[in-house]
C-alpha cells in the first residue's frame, strides 16, 4: 500500500489505473469502514482509502477536538482490508491559503442533520467530497447507509454536477448488541452504553408500528416512546422520503426512519429503511 499526502502524489499513484474505487473516511476506522473497503476491493482494480478529519463540517469545536485519530492504526487496517493507496492529506492540502469555494446542496441538506448542525455542516461535507471526487476521479465511491442524509446529499451533488462516478451505498454494520458502528462509540462510558441502544429500539418500534398499519406520525410517536423507556430523548425522530428527506406523507412508498440523540455527551445517529405497505390496488 502506498501512503500519499498531496494531490500531486495522489495523481502519480493513480496514473494509468483502470477501475478506481474510493472509500472516503475521517479515520478512526472500524468494521463498518472495513466492510466498505472489502466490498470496494472485490469490485475495483485500484482502491483509494482517504482519511481526512474535515474541520469544515464540525459545528462544535469540542466535537472536532474530541474526534479520535490514530493514523498508523488506520493505515494498517486499511492495508489489511485491501487498500492500494492511503490518502492522508494535511488540512492545508485540502484547504490551501486563499481557498474561497464552498459547494452547497440545497433542499435535502436543510432538515434534520442540517437543521441541528447548521448549514455549514453539509456545505463542508459537499465541498470536501467534491474535492475528493475530482482529485481521485473514481469510477465508484463507497459510502455507508448509516450516514443516510449525507449519502442523499452526495447523490444530489453528483447528479447536479454530472460527475462521472457511481455512488455505492453499503448496509449499516452493527455491533453484536445492535448499536450502529461509529467512530464515536468508543467515547461512550460502559455504564451508558446500554442507553445508546435506545436509538435502535426506537427504530425497531417505528418499523413495527408501520408494519401494523400506523401512519408515519404514529410510527414516529412509537419510536420516541421506545427511546424514552430507555431514558433517552431524541434530538429528532422522523420518517422521511429517503431521497429528499422531506417528511413521508404515507407509507405506500419506501421510507426511512431516522434518529439522532445524545447519550453521555456523545451524539449518535442511526436509521432504518421501512418497506412500503401494499395498497388495495396492489393486493
- Report whether pLDDT(282) > 90: no
CA 67 to chain centre: 15
- Report whether pLDDT(15) > 60: yes
Q: What is the pLDDT of residues 139-175, one digit of tens each?
A: 999 999 999 999 999 999 999 999 999 999 999 999 9
Secondary structure of residue 55 in the 3-state scheme: helix
Domain 187-274 has CATH 3.30.930.10: no
What are the extents of the domains in the chain?
A: 2-170, 187-274
- Report whether pLDDT(278) > 80: no
CA 160 to chain centre: 20
Closest to 219 measured CA to CA, from 233, 208, 228, 206: 206
Q: What is the pLDDT of residue 173?
A: 97
In the block, residue with C-alpha cell 484547504: 95
DSSP state of 137: -
Binding residues: 26-33, 57, 144-147, 150, 173, 181-184
104, 19 in Cβ contact below 8 A? no
Q: Which residues of 123-152 are buried (b: 16+ CB within 10 A; e: fewer)?
A: bbbbbbbbbbbebbbbbbbbbbbbbbbbbb
Q: Percentage of the chain surpassing pLDDT 70? A: 98
Note whether 2-170 and 187-274 share their fold. Answer: no
Q: What is the pLDDT of residue 188?
A: 94
Binding residues for ATP: 26-33, 144-147, 173, 181-184
- Report whether pLDDT(193) > 60: yes
Q: Which residues of 155-179 are buried (b: 16+ CB within 10 A; e: fewer)?
A: bbbbeeeebebebebbebbebeeeb
Binding residues for beta-alanine: 57
End-to-end CA distance of the chain: 54
Q: What is the pLDDT of residues 84-126, one digit of tens each?
A: 999 999 999 999 999 999 999 999 999 999 999 999 999 999 9
pLDDT-derived band at 281, boundaries 50, 70, 90: very low
Q: What is the pLDDT of residue 277?
A: 80
Q: Are strands 234-240 and 255-263 parallel, antiparallel or unpaired?
A: antiparallel
pLDDT-derived band at 14, boundaries 50, 70, 90: very high
- Report whether pLDDT(283) > 70: no
Q: What is the pLDDT of residues 21-53, one digit of tens each?
A: 999 999 999 999 999 999 999 999 999 999 999
Q: What CATH class has 2-170? A: alpha beta
Active site residues: 33
pLDDT-derived band at 279, boundaries 50, 70, 90: low
Amino acid at each position: 500500500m502506498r501512503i500519499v499526502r498531496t494531490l500531486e502524489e495522489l495523481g502519480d499513484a493513480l496514473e494509468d489505473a483502470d477501475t478506481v474505487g474510493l472509500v472516503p473516511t475521517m479515520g478512526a476506522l472500524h468494521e463498518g469502514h472495513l466492510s466498505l473497503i472489502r466490498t470496494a476491493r472485490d469490485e475495483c482494480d485500484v482502491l483509494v482509502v482517504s482519511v481526512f478529519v474535515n474541520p469544515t463540517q464540525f459545528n462544535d469545536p469540542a466535537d472536532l477536538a474530541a474526534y479520535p485519530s490514530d493514523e498508523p492504526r488506520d493505515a494498517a487496517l486499511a492495508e489489511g482490508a485491501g487498500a492500494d493507496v492511503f490518502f492522508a492529506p494535511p488540512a492545508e492540502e485540502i484547504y490551501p491559503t486563499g481557498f474561497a469555494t464552498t459547494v452547497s446542496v440545497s433542499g435535502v441538506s436543510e432538515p434534520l442533520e442540517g437543521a441541528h448542525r447548521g448549514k455549514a455542516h453539509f456545505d463542508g461535507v459537499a465541498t470536501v467530497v467534491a474535492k475528493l471526487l475530482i482529485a481521485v476521479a473514481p469510477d465508484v465511491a463507497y459510502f455507508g447507509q448509516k450516514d443516510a442524509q449525507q449519502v442523499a446529499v452526495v447523490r444530489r451533488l453528483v447528479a447536479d454536477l454530472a460527475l462521472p462516478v457511481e455512488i455505492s451505498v453499503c448496509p449499516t454494520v452493527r455491533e453484536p448488541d445492535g448499536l450502529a458502528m461509529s467512530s464515536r462509540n468508543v467515547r461512550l462510558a460502559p455504564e451508558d452504553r446500554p442507553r445508546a441502544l435506545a436509538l435502535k429500539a426506537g427504530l425497531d418500534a417505528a418499523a413495527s408500528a408501520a408494519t401494523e398499519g400506523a401512519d408515519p406520525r404514529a410510527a414516529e410517536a412509537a419510536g420516541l416512546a421506545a427511546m424514552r423507556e430507555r431514558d433517552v430523548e431524541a434530538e429528532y425522530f422522523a420518517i422521511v422520503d429517503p431521497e429528499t428527506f422531506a417528511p413521508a406523507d404515507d407509507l405506500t412508498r419506501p421510507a426511512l426512519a431516522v434518529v439522532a440523540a445524545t447519550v453521555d455527551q456523545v451524539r449518535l445517529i442511526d436509521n432504518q429503511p421501512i418497506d412500503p405497505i401494499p395498497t388495495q390496488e396492489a393486493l
